[in-house]
Amino acid sequence: MRKTAVALSAFALAVTLGACGGTDNGGDATGTDSGNNGNNGGGTVVAANMADLAKSIGDKTADESSAHMKLTADAAGQTITGEGDVKFAAQDAAMSMDMSTSEGDMSMVLLDAALYIKLPQELEPGKAWIKIDSSSDSELAKALGSMTEQMSKNADPRATLKEFEKSGEITDSKEEELDGQKTTHYTITVDVQKLADGQTDETMKAALEESIKGGLKDFEVDVWVNEEELPVRIALDMPTPDPTTGATTTVKMQIDYTKWGEPVEITAPPAEQIAELPA
């Protein structure tokens, strides 16, 4: 159970900051460097800076407001893969995802500022789900509670780019074909000190400051944007706090977005299937 909590903690925090992960291209993107702004060789307009990129993506995702996503993550020594749907919102985003971990298959639902997790093993007969929200009293709930609130607010590419708008800059852009789509691949270099200075979450701030003491100055975030100015992939590899131990760990995540604007339905699990969390 503890390893599950660690992995979910890392996953929750990574989604809080990025709804995204991992810096490698996944082996399926090809392209050529542009190294400049403006027209990107093929008629695609390239954002000149983080403010322009955040605004263009923000405007388009606000219009579409939902997407299907696939996740790959390495967190707290575990590999997690997942697939699900998300409804974006400035407040109270909703998400549903089925995940595969080294401890078994899990499901997650984020809805109305509550996080529901279906565990590989039932805590009580017939009750495979747990619920984590502000009213929960268990140690696990306390560890994940604040991140659940942040996930509800920030599980949105717009929030991701706004977060990094204050601490990052576009250091490269290139045209690439990704999964059959023409995209612009942006590399954003994030200043860890600036990111730490802007944090309101004390746990995250402390983890970033520990990373700075360890010599980390910056890390890269990669964003692939299609011709409709919608994110196709967001990827990062960054330090995050492990709420169960207080130590700093590294989360590498990648999320691919498809089916923008298609209707999605996200519902909470039945109350009779939700177990009481141990104290």
Q: Tell me the DSSP string of 67-112.
A: EEEEEEEEETTEEEEEEEEEE--SSS-EEEEEEEETTEEEEEEEET
The span from the first CA to the last CA of the chain, in angstroms, equals: 13
Mean predicted confidence (pLDDT) in 136-152 = 61
Q: Which range has highest mean pLDDT (40-49, 52-61, 71-80, 242-251)? A: 52-61
User: Which of residues 194 and 76 earns the better pLDDT score?
Assistant: 194
Domain count, the chain: 1
Residue 17 has pLDDT above 70, yes or no: no
The CATH number given to whatever domain includes residue 93 is 2.50.20.20
Non-local (6+) Cβ contacts of 227 within 8 A are 44, 181, 182, 183
Q: Across the strands, what pairs with 178?
A: 29, 181
2-6, 71-75, 126-130, 186-190: least confidently modelled range: 2-6
Residue 278 lies in a domain: no
pLDDT at 25: 38
Residue 279 lies in a domain: no
pLDDT at 254: 87
pLDDT at 36: 43
49 — pLDDT class (breaks 50, 70, 90): confident
Tokens of 138: 């268990």
Residue 197 lies in a domain: yes
User: Sign of torsion, CA 188 194 200 203?
Assistant: positive
Tokens of 148: 């659940």
Alpha-carbon span 65 to 262, nearest angstrom: 9
Helix (H, G, I), strand (E, B) or coil at 152: helix
Alpha-carbon span 160 to 177, nearest angstrom: 23
pLDDT at 242: 59
Residue 208 DSSP code: H
pLDDT at 43: 44
Say how many C-beta atoms besides its own lie within 10 A of residue 76's C-beta.
23
Residue 180 DSSP code: T
Tens-place pLDDT, residues 202-242 = 767 877 788 788 788 888 889 999 999 999 998 887 766 55
Alpha-carbon span 165 to 89, nearest angstrom: 18
List C-alpha distances in Å: 216 to 27, 163, 209, 231: 27, 18, 9, 27
Tens-place pLDDT, residues 68-124 = 989 888 876 778 888 999 887 766 678 898 988 777 888 889 888 788 888 888 888
pLDDT at 105: 87
pTM of the model: 0.77
Q: Which range has highest mean pLDDT (89-98, 135-144, 168-177, 216-225)? A: 168-177
In 3D, which of 203, 210, 235 has the Cα closest to residue 221? 235
pLDDT at 225: 93
Longest distance between any two alpha carbons in the chain, whole Å: 60
User: Which of residues 253 and 12 earns the better pLDDT score?
Assistant: 253
Cβ-contact 85, 277 below 8 angstroms: no
Helix (H, G, I), strand (E, B) or coil at 232: strand
Alpha-carbon span 193 to 216, nearest angstrom: 9
In 3D, which of 252, 245, 255 has the Cα closest to residue 78? 252
Average pLDDT of the chain, as a whole number:
75
User: Which of residues 272 and 51 earns the better pLDDT score?
Assistant: 272
Residue 194 has pLDDT above 50, yes or no: yes
Residue 260 lies in a domain: yes
Residue 208 lies in a domain: yes
The residue range of the domain holding 76 is 2-273
pLDDT at 174: 94
Residue 29 has pLDDT above 50, yes or no: no
Helix or strand run (H / E) with residue 143: helix 139-154
